[in-house]
Amino acid sequence: MTLGKKLRQIRKDKEMTKQELSVALNVPRERIKLYESGEEQPSEFYLASFAQYFNISKDDLI
């Protein structure tokens, strides 16, 4: 499973919209869309932010 698909699945499992995640992490909603679609890869900073927010390791996302 790709990083984008994992990120989307985790977000959906938490019943969050892209907008809600965007506000929670101060990441533009469009950027989350790009990450989930695989068009762009998150930087180490954002990868760490997602992992911390969802209480999982960065390795679990990658």
Domains of the chain: 3-61 (1.10.260.40)
Long-range contacts of 17-24 (CB under 8 A, 24+ apart): 21/53, 24/53
Residue type for 46, please?
Y
Section 20-33 average pLDDT: 96
Tell me: pLDDT of 40 over 90: yes
Q: Is residue 25's pLDDT more than 90?
A: yes
Place of tokens 């809600």: 20
pLDDT band at 61 (very low <50, low <70, confident <90, very high): confident
Is the whole-model pTM more than 0.95? no
Per-residue model confidence (pLDDT) at position 62: 84
Closest-CA residue to 54 (of 3, 7, 17, 20): 7
